[in-house]
A and B are shown apart, each in its own frame.
Chain A
Amino acid sequence: DGGITQSPKYLFRKEGQNVTLSCEQNLNHDAMYWYRQDPGQGLRLIYYSQIVNDFQKGDIAEGYSVSREKKESFPLTVTSAQKNPTAFYLCASSGAGTRAYNEQFFGPGTRLTVL
């Protein structure tokens, strides 16, 4: 099955901890994205990557970090500097070249809760 997987589904973090959310895709897409979803606020872009070893900040990158060492993988680290990390995190990907501007596909999400 082709698609996007995210793990874990639920994640609990203590104050001061860094946690890493996994995102893997087997769609052979060049571009990958991380969004955060909060009730009543819609989706906000955290980071995106259009090619391996390159990524750009989105609208709310503070307190987050990413890496893109492989085409299939785009992990997101939520650092202790992120003051309000409790949210639903969604990973997405889209196709190569000009198709990177076309349809985005999403993973099932990770719900992060700070204890």
Chain B
Amino acid sequence: KQEVTQIPAALSVPEGENLVLNCSFTDSAIYNLQWFRQDPGKGLTSLLLIQSSQREQTSGRLNASLDKSSGRSTLYIAASQPGDSATYLCAVRRTGANSKLTFGKGITLSVRP
């Protein structure tokens, strides 16, 4: 059974800092990995999707990497801003028919002005 872990559960950093959010998964037979952002009381916003054949994806100040063999993904946020404060979740989709997303519990990020 796939398990997705995100540690730590919460993180507080000063504005302007570059930071890395970690995601680990137990089964390397994945189809893709997706990073989401969730603001309090809101739905999830898709940030980046990495296919299993890819090593990384970039969007603006965000860069996500994937290392299937070690079961790890990282989300790098450059020059963090208070508006980046939110919960960041990663989710993996395993290979095979009817495959479903398995979510981590998320990392709640607070960027202090």
Give A contacts to B, CB under 8 Å: 4, 6, 40-43, 45, 48, 50, 56, 58, 88, 90, 92, 101-109, 111
Contact = CB atoms under 8 A, between A and B. Distances in A.
Contacts, number: 49
Interface of B: 31-32, 34, 36, 41-46, 49, 89, 91, 93, 98-101, 103-106
B101 A102 contact: no
A-B complex: 6 closest residue pairs judged by Cβ atoms:
A106-B44, A42-B105, A106-B43, A43-B103, A108-B43, A103-B49
Contacts of A90: 43-44
Contacts of B49: 102-103
Given A42-B104, A104-B91, 9 more contacts: A42-B106, A45-B101, A92-B44, A103-B49, A104-B101, A106-B43, A106-B46, A108-B43, A109-B41
A48 B100 contact: yes
B103 A101 contact: no
A109 B42 contact: yes
Contacts of B41: 88, 109, 111
Nearest to B4: A42
Contacts of B32: 101-102
A112 B44 CA distance: 17
Contacts of B36: 106
Nearest to A92: B44
A108 B103 contact: no
B99 A101 contact: yes
Contacts of B105: 40-42
